[in-house]
Structure 1
Amino acid sequence: MIRMSFFTLVLLYFVLVLLGRPDEAAKLAAAQPDAAQARPSLLARADTAILTDDLLMQAVVRETPEPRVVPARLVPMPGPALRPAPEYRVKDDVVTPASPRIYAVQASRANVRGGQGTSHPVVGSLSRNEEVLVVADPGNGWVHVRVEGDGIDGWMAKRLLRPAS
């Protein structure tokens, strides 16, 4: 099995060497004969200077033109437009006040929730007369609050708050 793989690779190598692509420099010279004659090649001056293989390769690389990259046209995806999930969606209905206001809790116990509504999980709980910073008030009965000392950040029912004095 190993012998057969080896002979197959050797045969493939010889086929590629004998029938491989023509030299890129010959193709370039055939395509642009005036440009090749107008600019003296570094390879033509190799007899007057001692060039190592690295310098010779750098000369060949410098003389070949840069390939042009054409950007592909983007085709819109078929189907409905993609929208972010609700937890990552930018809330357009949130109105941020000009200056954050401080409110106090007027209920004996109030829950701070992860979103607008009682269906969202409770992220914290506040007791009477605790002060909160109202970050946003969209006007739908819920306000976005932040408690500085505890690090609680969430939503509360506005009816449970009163302006701090």
Structure 2
Amino acid sequence: MNANTVVLQLNIQLPHTAGALAALHDLVRAATAVPGAALSAEPVVPKPVVPVPVVPVPRKASESPRLVLDPESRRVVLRDEPLDLTRLEFDLLLHLCARPGKVHRRSSLMAQVWGMGEPPGSRTIDVHIRRLRVKLGPDGHHITTVRGVGYRFDGADLVTIGPLLSAG
């Protein structure tokens, strides 16, 4: 069995790998690529493959953040679109985003955002967190549940807290 046969079998068994294999081809010198055109195969990478670390690209100063919270106007913009939040959702998101990476205990969130202690058995915070995650869409996963403790916001590089810059 040669390298072309193995890759063709992978494409049949795992149809979603073709794009990844073609992308890896660009990382390898052309001299090491296995010719597959004769078999009508996509370009492939022979083994062994040396992984290349993926380094996050820092946001340029000219790029706008994905999430902007303006405490003074109490407005939120997500990916250049206004986000409609209730008063408590805004306060909760602002509290989490103002201290990214910090675990916020449920009792602390009730005291700081709601201004009261949490009644025993209350799911109030969980419901509001769930609604926030839904409204944030693909970015909702940045609100992380810390089991048995509370919640943490892990998207510090995605958010800006400050005045909204109006276009024009």
Normalised by the shorter chain, which TM-score bucket? Answer: under 0.3
Q: Which structure shows the bigger proportion of residues in strand conformation?
A: 1
- TM-score when scaled to structure 2? 0.18
- TM-score when scaled to structure 1? 0.18
**Larger RCO of the pair (alpha carbons < 8 Å, separation 6+):** 2
